[in-house]
Structure formats: structure tokens, C-alpha cells
């Protein structure tokens, strides 16, 4: 069995607004599942510390960081139409980023084989100077920059399979040739970005791959797009580390979106990414929790990802097949191959 690490702190539960879809029951459902299925005792916990101002400022404007801190110090409030804070949110977001940085370090240094950070609030919509879409700080981008600066890695990939485009991660990394950002997401959809033609700018041109999915694309279409475009693009970039923005809201039963992945499809995707990391970067892979709003999907989905990380050949799908008919992905696939010369 692999040595798989995880990050969790009670502070992640203190960032909470019970009627909001991104609330603390998401994490408690995951923890209950991991305990009930006897997965938790097989994992090694990495304690989370707050990220330092320097680590945050590689991705976010100092005035924005100060504004979030001040808002929380005075009891919290809404930062945009759908992003809340409480008095604990700043602290939770700092621990989320610091925890992912240290989990990544433990994986790259070989103390752990791989890992999954069970953190909240999520991060992939937060742009350099503002909060967005339930996200305060770009945890995945912050961890990628830390790995580049402090672990001296030259090439890192961030792959985002949340159903929403990781616009914040893309905005932060848009001109960075050392960090490849790839995202598959429902499109057109919230947050509006993630078109196929968005490929990075200046020195970062070509280091962004967007796979915009039509509604009802499911297991078959996503398998083809990953096998024929996503995996070849990652192989070509030759990352030394793969960070995954793991959102479970592309499942057909998620209440916020309309993509048709099943839990079996998610298992295939996670196993494929773990196998790819073993093939190209010594197994260096760290998953980071982003979205996923149906708890009956989220808990077994994360549980199956842990099983795949540990190398346990079991999986759980209490929900089953998607009844929708999938759209054809041939034209999308040829266009991705043409734009990215794959
Ligand atoms: Zn999402």
C-alpha cells in the first residue's frame, strides 16, 4: 500500500454558512465516510500551518490580502455576490494554503508517496485582487509557486477537473511558462472563462490548456478527451509534480452543473492521473479539494480517490449510471489537437 498523506484542520469547519452550498457539512460528510470505510487509519496526517505573507503575495495583491484579513477581523461578510466570510475565514484560507504547501513538500521530498488536502474554503476562482465563486485565495496556484521557488522544481502542472473553469488559477499563472495549467469544465458556464483559445500569454503562451465541455458530456466523452488530449499534453510538458484541483461537481447528480460524469468515471479519471504521475514524475501527485455540492457524491468520490492513491483496488458507487445521451466530442477534440499541435 502507498503512503498517502492528507491535510485537515478543525479551522476549515469554522468557515461556514449553513444555507450556502459551500458549507462545513461538505467536509464532515467526507470525514465520516473515510472513518466508516476504514480509510482514515491508513492515511498519514500532515498538520497545516498558516501560509506566510510572502507565499500569498506570489499570487495575490497585498491590499487584497489585507482587505480579507480586515473583513474577517470585524466579523466577516460577503466579498462578492456568492462568496462569504466569517471571523474565521481568513485563518481557514491561510491554513488551507499552508497545508497544501507542506503536503506537497512531503510528497516531493519522498516522506509521502502522494496526498489529498481536505481543505476549505476552495481556491480556484480567486483572482489576484479579488475573491470570487466561494474562493478566497488560489490554494493550488500558491502551492505550485511555492514548489517552484522553495523546492526548486522547474516544471509543475496544475490540472483542474472541477466542473467550473479555474479562472483564478489561470489568471494567476497566465504568463508563467513553468506552471502548466489544464482545465476541463462545462462551457459556456460560470465563471464565463475557459474558452479553447485561452492558451496563456507572453512567456506563458501554450502553457494553458482549456477543454470546454458541452452540457451532458459524460464518462465516454471525458475519457476520450483525456486520453487523446489531456494526457498527451501533460506528457509533453513533463512536469515534476502534478497538483489536482479536485472538484466533484461534474457528477450528473450535482445540483450546480450539468456534466454527466459518474463516480465510476471519476474513479477512472483519478486512477489515470495517478498512473500518469507514476509514469512521468515519480508518482508526485497531490489532490486539493475544490467543489462538489451533492454530499452523496462528494463523500464516496473523495473516498474513491483516496482508495486510488493508496493503491486499493475497490470502489464505491451508490448512485450509478447517468441516463443522459452524451454529445459527440469529435469536433472539440480535433480543434484542441489543432490549437495545441497534439
Ligand atoms: Zn465547481
Distance, in Å, from the CA atom of 138 to the CA atom of 1, rounded to the nearest integer, reads: 31
pTM over 0.85: yes
CA of 216 to the centre of ligand 1 (A): 16
CATH class for domain 4-340? Answer: alpha beta
Distance, in Å, from the CA atom of 296 to the CA atom of 275, rounded to the nearest integer, reads: 26
pLDDT of 131? 98
Cα-based torsion angle of the residue sequence 126, 289, 169, 221 in order, rounded to the nearest 10 degrees: -130
pLDDT of 113? 98
pLDDT of 50? 98
- Per DSSP, the three-state class of 45 is strand
**Average pLDDT, integer, range 73-81:** 97
How does pLDDT run across 246-263, given as a tens digit for each residue? 999 999 999 999 999 999
Distances (CA, A) of 7 to 74, 82, 125, 202, 215: 28, 26, 21, 35, 33
CA of 331 to the centre of ligand 1 (A): 25
pLDDT of 99? 98
pLDDT of 339? 98
CA of 192 to the centre of ligand 1 (A): 13
CA of 190 to the centre of ligand 1 (A): 9
How does pLDDT run across 297-317, given as a tens digit for each residue? 999 999 999 999 999 999 999
pLDDT of 232? 98
**Average pLDDT, integer, range 216-234:** 98
Distance, in Å, from the CA atom of 271 to the CA atom of 5, rounded to the nearest integer, reads: 17
Give the confidence band of 186 by pLDDT, cuts at 50, 70, 90. Answer: very high
Question: Are 186 and 194 a contacting pair, CB within 8 Å?
Answer: no
pLDDT of 69? 98
pLDDT of 326? 98
Strands (DSSP E) contained in 257-311 are 285-289
Distance, in Å, from the CA atom of 76 to the CA atom of 91, rounded to the nearest integer, reads: 12
pLDDT of 153? 98
Distance, in Å, from the CA atom of 335 to the CA atom of 332, rounded to the nearest integer, reads: 5
Give the confidence band of 68 by pLDDT, cuts at 50, 70, 90. Answer: very high
Distance, in Å, from the CA atom of 227 to the CA atom of 243, rounded to the nearest integer, reads: 18
> Residue 6's beta-bridge partner residues?
45, 116
Question: Are 138 and 120 a contacting pair, CB within 8 Å?
Answer: no
Question: Which residue out of 95, 124, 125, 185 is catalytically annotated?
Answer: 125
CA of 109 to the centre of ligand 1 (A): 30
CA of 342 to the centre of ligand 1 (A): 27
CA of 129 to the centre of ligand 1 (A): 20
Distance, in Å, from the CA atom of 278 to the CA atom of 259, rounded to the nearest integer, reads: 28
**Average pLDDT, integer, range 223-250:** 98
**Average pLDDT, integer, range 159-183:** 98
Question: Are 46 and 106 a contacting pair, CB within 8 Å?
Answer: yes
> Residue 183's beta-bridge partner residues?
160, 210
Whether residue 125 lies in the annotated active site: yes
Tell me which residues have their CB within 5 A of the ion that is ligand 1.
162, 164, 247, 249, 291
User: Across all residues in the chain, what is the average pLDDT?
Assistant: 98
Domain boundaries, the chain: 4-340
Amino acid at each position: 500500500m502507498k503512503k498517502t498523506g492528507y491535510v485537515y484542520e478543525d479551522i476549515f469547519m469554522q468557515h461556514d454558512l449553513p444555507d450556502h452550498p459551500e458549507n462545513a457539512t461538505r467536509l464532515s460528510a467526507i470525514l465520516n465516510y473515510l472513518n466508516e470505510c476504514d480509510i482514515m487509519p491508513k492515511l498519514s496526517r500532515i498538520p497545516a500551518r498558516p501560509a506566510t505573507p510572502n507565499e500569498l503575495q506570489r499570487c495575490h495583491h497585498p491590499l487584497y490580502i489585507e482587505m480579507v484579513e480586515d473583513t474577517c477581523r470585524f466579523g466577516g461578510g460577503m466579498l462578492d455576490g456568492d462568496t462569504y466570510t466569517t471571523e474565521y475565514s481568513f485563518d481557514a484560507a491561510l491554513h488551507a494554503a499552508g497545508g497544501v504547501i507542506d503536503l506537497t513538500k512531503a510528497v516531493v521530498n519522498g516522506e509521502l508517496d502522494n496526498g489529498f488536502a481536505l481543505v476549505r474554503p476552495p481556491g480556484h476562482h480567486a483572482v489576484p485582487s479579488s475573491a470570487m465563486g466561494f474562493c478566497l485565495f488560489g490554494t493550488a496556484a500558491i502551492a505550485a509557486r511555492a514548489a517552484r521557488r522553495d523546492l526548486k522544481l522547474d516544471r509543475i502542472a496544475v490540472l483542474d477537473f472541477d466542473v467550473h473553469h479555474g479562472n483564478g488559477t489561470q489568471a494567476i499563472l497566465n504568463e508563467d511558462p513553468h506552471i502548466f495549467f489544464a482545465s476541463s469544465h462545462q462551457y459556456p458556464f460560470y465563471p464565463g472563462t475557459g474558452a479553447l483559445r485561452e492558451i496563456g500569454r507572453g512567456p506563458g503562451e501554450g502553457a494553458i490548456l482549456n477543454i470546454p465541455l458541452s452540457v451532458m458530456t459524460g464518462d465516454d466523452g471525458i475519457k476520450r478527451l483525456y486520453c487523446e488530449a489531456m494526457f498527451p499534453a501533460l506528457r509533453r510538458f513533463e512536469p515534476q509534480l502534478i497538483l489536482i484541483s479536485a472538484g466533484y461537481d461534474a457528477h450528473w447528480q450535482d445540483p450546480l452543473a450539468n456534466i454527466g460524469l459518474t463516480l465510476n468515471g471519476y474513479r477512472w479519471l483519478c486512477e489515470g492521473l495517478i498512473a500518469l504521475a507514476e509514469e512521468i514524475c515519480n508518482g508526485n501527485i497531490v489532490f486539493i479539494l475544490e467543489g462538489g455540492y451533492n454530499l452523496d457524491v462528494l463523500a464516496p468520490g473523495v473516498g474513491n480517490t483516496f482508495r486510488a492513491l493508496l493503491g486499493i483496488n475497490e470502489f464505491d458507487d451508490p448512485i450509478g449510471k447517468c441516463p443522459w445521451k452524451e454529445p459527440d466530442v469529435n469536433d472539440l477534440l480535433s480543434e484542441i489537437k489543432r490549437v495545441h499541435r497534439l
